[in-house]
Amino acid sequence: MWFLLGAIGWIIFAFWPAFVARRKGYSFVLFFILSLFFFVIALIVAYLLTDKTKTAQDIIDDRTAEAALDKEEKEELARQRK
């Protein structure tokens, strides 16, 4: 009985890295199988992979937003120093 519950739990946890990989544009099945045998490694790799679903415009938008935030932070620091 406990073995069956443990096996079901292990299979449910194996979906976690597979869903992360799918969201980033990688193979769900490959990561599911990998996580059945090497769960921790598959989870780490899935989170470290770059996102293949991002377009060039998304990257440009991210950089523009970061630059705007940096500018605002510098202006705020300058105001605080006065």
Give me the mean pLDDT over the 13-28 stretch: 93
pLDDT band per the 50, 70, 90 thresholds, residue 54: confident
pLDDT band per the 50, 70, 90 thresholds, residue 77: confident
- Residues of the chain with pLDDT > 90: what percent? 46
pLDDT for 65: 86
Q: Are 11 and 37 in contact (CB under 8 A)?
A: no
Q: Which amino acid is at 10?
A: W
Distances in whole angstroms, Cα of residue 57 to Cα of each of 50, 63, 67, 68 = 16, 10, 15, 16
The string of pLDDT tens digits covering residues 21-47 is: 999 999 999 999 999 999 999 999 999
Integer Cα distance of 4 and 11 in angstroms? 11
Provide the residue ranges of all domains of the chain, joining segments of one domain with +.
1-51, 53-82
